Structure 1
Amino acid sequence: MNQTTDPHALLYGTTLSPDEAKSLTAKLLSSCDDGELYLQFLASESFAFDDGRLKTADYSRDSGFGLRGVSGEMTGFAHANELSAAAIARAGETLRLLDPTSRPFAAPPQRSNRHLYTADSPLDAVPFAEKVALLEKIDAVARAKDPRVAQVTASLSASWSAIEIVRPDGFVARDIRPLVRLNIAIVAEANGRRERGSFGMGGRYLYDRLFDEGQWMRGIDEAVRQALVNLDSVAAPAGETTVLLGPGWPGVLLHEAIGHGLEGDFNRKGTSAFSGRIGERVAAPGVTVVDDGSIAERRGSLSIDDEGTPTRETVLIEDGVLKGYMQDRLNARLMGVEATGNGRRENYQHAPMPRMTNTFMRGGDDDPAELLSRVKDGIYATAFGGGQVDIVSGKFVFACTEAYKVEKGKIVAPIKGATLIGDGPSVLTRVSGIGNDLALDEGVGVCGKGGQSVPAGVGQPTLLIDGLTVGGTG
């Protein structure tokens, strides 16, 4: 069934009209500093092909609202999966617990007609049978690539969301958001040993890109290559050593170790390792880190954030000096700065908070091959799996899913079991080389914070870091 791209048709009906939404919001938030009514319709689907057959095929639809009122530092929030005037009125009772304010209501976000992605639904453009057939084809092609391929898992997912943000001052903002993703995981087996490789891609566009044969073939080749490389891996060495990070996805280390520490709420509360350090040198010269939610069709991009603020490029660290933080409206107001378009929420059931969009380090002038030649004894890490970070200290632990031992400027062997251990602030100061090969990730990032998950992007050039601790098995 084809979806309309008119938000009114999805969000309003016999139980709620646009005029009712505006009048209710004005009435219920009349004694607040800030806030909004957030309406959402969401359709999503996912397919998983494993062990040669379709294991899951899920489809869901959801709609609802979140009503938020802000008074000083206090937030009142209520939500329901019912788009009706009666439900919104009941939710407004929650806001009575807030202290009434005599301050004027906060100014609305800047209006924007920018559209960073299509409003069409990816769920409707490709028939069900074709989606299953693609996964079958990926399974067959991957198994034919090499006799050592023992298992193939392929998954496809998409979502399509229409939102409307209504404020009591008459401001209304709308956005329609597509999102697609393809993942391929390979298990290779030889001589009784099994190792994994994986690859994923996606973004805010339609399925047609993922169905392009050149794209999914590239995904198969990369996943099989990584699995076969790991079959030949040796135990990773342990200790403090020089680390060369590859471009693109390894930026997830910066996202976790540094990015969360640059979000406004942690800094307003003084709990970040970067709190109160605006204008100070926090990184080596040449290190520039930005968050940019305005890049067309990227997974972490939004035309407007979930408070209605247009997204933009925000320079966080420039040439090693801390310049600013990522802000939602609440923390920006309390810190006396501008909102940066980083107010994000998982869905209507959650209040917004400062979150990253696409966070990456800009490229430098160094030749990546020359950076490798500088590594006399160290490791070269090109892919990461899971990691953990402590926001207060910035300490992190990351597992490498593809890494190599480097001796005298040459890659000598793939290694297994390497984990990178350190803390974000000191890692930035130990950057001694920045490649000219900036790359963003392929579009698979998911960021968790405060019980909410949102799509996010990462990126970086090849980075040479002196003296990072490696936890190994050798």
Structure 2
Amino acid sequence: MPPADSIPTTSAADFGDFDLSLAQRLLDDALTGADDGEIFIEKRETESLVYDDRRLKSAGYGADQGFGFRVVAGETIGFANSAELSVDAVRRAAEAAVLAKQGKAVDVTLKHDNPVRSNQRYYQAHDPLSEMDFADKIALLQAIDAYARDRDPNVVQVSASLAAEKRAITILRGNGEVYHDYRPLVRLSIGVSLEKNGHRESASSGGGGRISLFDITSPDKWQAQVDEAIRQALVNLDAVPAPAGEMDIVLGPGWPGVLLHEAVGHGLEGDFNRKGTSAFSGKMGTQVAARGVTIVDDGTIPDARGSLNIDDEGTATSCTTLIEDGILVGYMHDRLSARQMDARATGNGRRQSYAHQPLPRMTNTFMRGGKDRLDDMIANTKKGLYAVNFGGGQVDITNGKFVFQCTEAYLIEDGRIGAPVKGATLIGDGPGAMRQVDMVGDDFKFDPGVGTCGKAGQSLPVGIGQPSLRIRGLTVGGTGA
């Protein structure tokens, strides 16, 4: 057993009569002759409230617990999970998972390297479900609705939601290694619709992270979010159709990093590169972006939405440099991809729940700031688009090709910001876009803590960020002349 002061632990969860010692012995037996594996035990509670059209539309509470038992032999994985926390269930799961040692992959649901250890804590043990009374939460959503309608006479609909969860995690590994983590998460989302002269536009804003509910529900915080949503909707009410064609793009700081996350970040996850299916496969040590472009994934940012004390395999999270000054220097790894690529696990082994297997996943992924000023980017652009906010997008990991919809954008004409436009989409490929960056701003900013990332059917909270930057010669899709 590792010394107690070397094990990252917040507190052991109360799993009732579940015998961790016996489960550990069953795991050790199952791992004999295998390369890796663990028992991931989880207890989770969630709460969500949605206030829409001047009434409480829904209020939900959920509680779940269970475990996932994994045995890895070479590239073969045996995985079984159960919502029943009992030694009998663990024994049945072990019988299924050990088939991996016979070369039989299995994934069922039932009724070698030592990870780096750290005692660092990147968030406090808040209980966001019980910090506020239920009646106070409803009153908060009512206040948001009333404030939004009072702010602008064109507001015709308001939607506000509050979500909170807490997770208690215990991970058993071979040789008696035991890891614990407690993970709070909160999010406030606000949407508004404004109508003027028979034309309606909607916009949204919000905030969150691994913080207390009080950190996002103080009046100054939620009022600022309401004001931002109304501002965006008003801009789009006056927007003209976006022109189409090739032009220079200036991206604003913060949330526009979602383009970076999708078009570049996923391609730097270890499993895609181990399989050779990423646009960045086989390019380690080569220039894949313009000089001045440095991209990192950092799971250690205090209170950030994507941060973790340890990942879902028990490895301490870290700050992993992926692209440094344009050169590809690293990938994000879980234990499996690290072992198969002769690399170090970076603390990016993440799973949606006990019922899912871990995969290499982003935590907080962002581009570091540079020395250029946003005003200079605009002034030095003769014809282009200033993209401030983004909606959804599509990306092909194999070649990095993307299509992203701008939800707030402006024309740039002769070095000045012009009319707002609607219907603009950015079309390109991630590696190509990164090579076309010629100015990197000094105004780095994170998103407000609302990002969610999907991969292989699993959704996880993530952080996104970047400074403003200029990309030369992207294709813009639009409906205007």
Does 2:82 match 1:80? yes
Alpha-carbon distance in structure 1 between the residues aligned to 2:49 and 2:302: 26
Deviation sequence 1:340-371 (CA, Å, 0-9, x none): 00000001000100000000000000011111
CA deviations 1:260-301 (Å, max 9, x no partner) are 000000001100010010110011110000000000100000
CA separation in 1, counterparts of 2:231 and 2:423? Answer: 18
> Which residue in the other structure is 2:70 paired with?
68
Task: Give the Cα separation in 1 of the matches to 2:362 and 2:126.
Answer: 25
Whether the aligned pair in 1 keeps the contact of 2:48 and 2:163 (CA below 8 Å) is yes
Q: Distance in 2 between the 1:76 and 1:9 partners?
A: 26
Letter aligned with residue 452 of structure 1: Q
The aligned residue for residue 14 of structure 2 is 10
Q: Is the 8 A contact 2:452 2:462 kept in 1?
A: yes
**Aligned 8 A contact 1:32 1:100 in 2:** no
How far residue 404 of structure 1 moved from its aligned partner, in angstroms, is 0.6
Q: CA deviation at 1:411?
A: 1.2
Deviations 1:419-440 (A, max 9, x none): 0000001000000110000101
Q: Provide closer, same or farther for how the CA distance between residues 9 and 361 of structure 1 changes in structure 2, counting only shifts above 3 A.
A: closer
Quick check: 1:327–1:340 contact (8 Å CA) kept in 2? yes
Aligned to 1:429: 435
Is 1:184 equivalent to 2:196 in the alignment?
A: no
Structure 2 counterpart SS, 1:98: helix
Q: Pick from 33, 43, 49: which aligns with 1:47?
A: 49
Q: Say whether residues 1:298 and 2:304 are aligned partners.
A: yes
Q: Please give the secondary structure, in 2, of the residue aligned with 1:91.
A: helix
**Which portions of structure 1, spanning 4 or more consecutive aligned residues, are displaced by more than 3 angstroms?**
5-9
Establish whether residue 33 from structure 1 lines up as the match of residue 39 from structure 2: no
1:251-330 residue pairs with structure 2 within 5 A? 251-330=257-336
SS in 2 for 1:169: helix
**Across the two proteins, how many residue pairs are aligned to each other?**
464
SS in 2 for 1:88: helix
Letter in 2 for 1:30: T
CA contact (8 A) 1:25 1:36 kept: yes
Residue identity opposite 2:146 in structure 1: A
1:306-455 mapped onto 2 (5 Å cutoff)? 306-455=312-461
Q: Is the 8 A contact 1:383 1:401 kept in 2?
A: yes
In structure 1, list runs of 5 or more residues that go unmatched.
none
Q: CA deviation at 1:406?
A: 1.1
- The 3-state SS of whatever aligns with 2:160 is strand
How far apart, in 1, do the equivalents of 2:476 and 2:303 lie?
Answer: 36
Q: Which whole-Å CA distance do the structure 1 matches of 2:174 and 2:322 have between them?
A: 32
What letter is aligned with 1:76? G
Deviation by residue 1:198-228 (Cα, 9 ceiling, x = unmatched):
1010000110111111100110110000011
> Whole-Å Cα distance in 1 between the matches of residues 136 and 460 of structure 2?
28
In structure 2, the gaps of 5 or more residues are 1-8, 104-111
Matches within 5 A, 1:207-218: 207-218=213-224
C-alpha separation in 1, matches of 2:10 and 2:414: 61
Identity score, percent: 57
Quick check: 1:328–1:343 contact (8 Å CA) kept in 2? yes
TM-score, structure 2 normalization: 0.95
Partners of 2:13 and 2:170 within 8 A in 1: no
Per the alignment, residue 5 of structure 2 pairs with none
Report the 3-state secondary structure (helix = DSSP H, G, I; strand = E; otherwise coil) of the residue aligned with 1:436: coil
Cα deviation 1:224-265 (Å, max 9, x = unaligned): 000111000000000111110000000000000000000000
Q: Which runs of structure 2 are paired with 1:140-289 in the superposition (5 Å)?
A: 140-289=146-295
Q: Kindly provide the CA deviation profile for residues 416-459 of structure 1, in whole angstroms up to 9, marking residues without a partner as x.
A: 00000000010000001100001011000000000000000111
In structure 1, the residue corresponding to 2:29 is in which secondary structure?
helix
Among 21, 32, 54, the alignment partner of 1:19 is 21
SS, match of residue 123 in structure 1? coil
Paired position in structure 1 for 2:108:
none
Offset at residue 28 of structure 1 (A): 2.1
Using a 3 Å threshold, how does the CA distance of structure 1 residues 215 and 245 change in structure 2: closer, same or farther?
Answer: same
Contact 1:259–1:356 (CA under 8 A) maintained in structure 2: yes
Could you tell me how far apart the structure 2 residues matched to 1:173 and 1:29 are?
18
Counterpart of 2:48 in 1: which secondary structure?
strand
TM-score (norm 1): 0.96
State the Cα distance separating 1:7 from its structure 2 match: 5.0
2: CA distance, partners of 1:85 / 1:108: 26
Contact 1:122-1:160 at 8 Å conserved across structures? yes
- The corresponding residue for 1:99 is 101
Distance 2:319 2:72 in 1: 26
